[in-house]
Amino acid sequence: MFGGLGDLAKMMQQAKEIKKNVEEMKKNLSEAEFSGVSANGKVIAVVSGDFQLKKVEFKGADVAENDVFEAVNTALNTARNEAQAKLQEIA
């Protein structure tokens, strides 16, 4: 009769543990930094694991807009891939 309650308590404990792990992962990712570089190496972008742009460095005066987009998007994709990998570890 009460066998289901034990299973429910176990599931509740697992849910709490998953929530704790997700919160820890979010904190760690927000502190991590990921960089991206344009193909010509003239722009370096750094983003945090919570997808905030932290820094953009320009090497030279003749930087094109596409170089900036490329570096920022590369950094964001790296951060996104890392977040997905970390989430897979928890699941």
pLDDT tens string 34-82? 999 999 999 999 999 999 999 999 998 899 999 999 999 999 999 999 9
Residue that wins the pLDDT comparison between 86 and 41: 41
Residue that wins the pLDDT comparison between 79 and 22: 79
- pLDDT computed for residue 14 by the predictor: 87
- Which residue's structure tokens are 């972008």? 45
Question: Residue 72 gets which letter from DSSP?
Answer: H
Burial label, 81 (beta-carbon count in 10 A; 0-12, 13-18, 19+): exposed
Provide the phi-psi class of 51: left if phi over 0, else alpha when psi is between -120 and 50, else beta. Answer: left
* Contact between 71 and 56 (Cβ < 8 Å): yes
0.85 surpassed by pTM: no
Q: Which strand (E) or helix (H) includes residue 91?
A: none
- pLDDT computed for residue 3 by the predictor: 61
